[in-house]
Each structure stands twice: as C-alpha cells, then as structure tokens.
Amino acid sequence: MAKRPAIFLDRDGVLNDVVWRDGKPASPRTPEELVVADGAAAAVAAFRAAGYLTFVVTNQPDVRRGKMTAKALDAIHAALVAQVPVDEVRACLHDTADGCACRKPRAGMLLDLSARWNIDLGASWMIGDMDRDVDCGRSAGVGTVLLDRPYNSRSGADVVLPDLTRAAAWILETQSASRAPALQD
C-alpha cells in the first residue's frame, strides 16, 4: 500500500479559538466554550479533497491537572469533529513533568499516527500556533506552518501565515507546483 501524505493540526488556536484565562491563551474546558475557527471546516475539506489524511494532535493536560474531566474532553472532540471532520483526534493528556514521548514538542503522536496510517512524513505538514508545534513537526520530519498569533515567536517554521485558510491555500499551491511536470526545452 502506498504511503499517503497527512496534515497534522494542533487544536487550540488552529481549528478552534483559544479561550483567554488570566491573560493567557488556554483550551476550552467544556463543549460550550468550543468555538470552531472561521474557515477551519473548509480548510480541512480542501486538504482531504487533495488526498491528505487529516489529524488533530493536541496537548490537553487539564484532565491530569484536574481542571476538566476526560468526559468533557471527549465531548469537546466530538463537537469539533462534528463540525470539522478529520481522520482521527489524538490527545496527549500528560503534564510536562511526566516526560512522555507524546507531549509536543516531542513527535510521538505524529510518529504513532504515521506508523498506524502508513503516512509519508516527507510529504506531510504540521500546522500549529505555538513554537512547540513547530518543534514537533521538525522532529517528525514534516513541513511546518506556524499561524501568526500574539503569543508565539513567529520564527522557526517553514512558513508563518495568518490563519488556517491561508495555510491550506499555501500548502495546496506548494503541492501543486511541486507535482507539476517539468517543462521540456
């Protein structure tokens, strides 16, 4: 079976709006706090139409920290997938101190998904809103897109773009250009 390219998407700040708590970007803790980002469904549909597998890869330590329940997290993911169909949602519930392989910036979630879904990492992309998303993508050997947000460094990614709609257009345009036949003299 041929390997397929994939788009790995961070959740908060990419597919849905962040929730601001104490002046810091945070994750929604209830389905009622989930606000799907403008253009997210259309961007994911465009990726899927172009042959990409699509995955959500998200750090969600609030369950471990006792700030939300696993049931609430499952409900948030169900609400998200109902609006933005993806192939799979993968969440790391560990806290930073746990030292797991799946918590971004480590690449464990991407590598596990790659093995399970037969993904061509060299033709795949990680789209995130935090530097740790870029580091994760680089560690997995995928292209990286950082969405420009007031809370990130805006550096280190292959490209920095304002939103998921523009990220999808850029990736799909880049893919199309790289697959175009060479002109003969």
Which among 12, 62, 131, 135 is annotated as catalytic? 12
| Cα–Cα distances in angstroms (integers) from residue 173 to residues 39, 110, 133, 138, 178, in the given order | 17, 23, 22, 21, 9
Catalytic residue, chosen from 10, 62, 129, 131, is 10
What helix, strand, coil percent values describe the chain, rounded to 5? 35, 20, 40
Let me know if 12 is a catalytic residue. Answer: yes
Dihedral Cα 97, 98, 103, 105, nearest 10 deg? 40
112 is catalytic: no
Which residues are marked as active site?
Answer: 10, 12
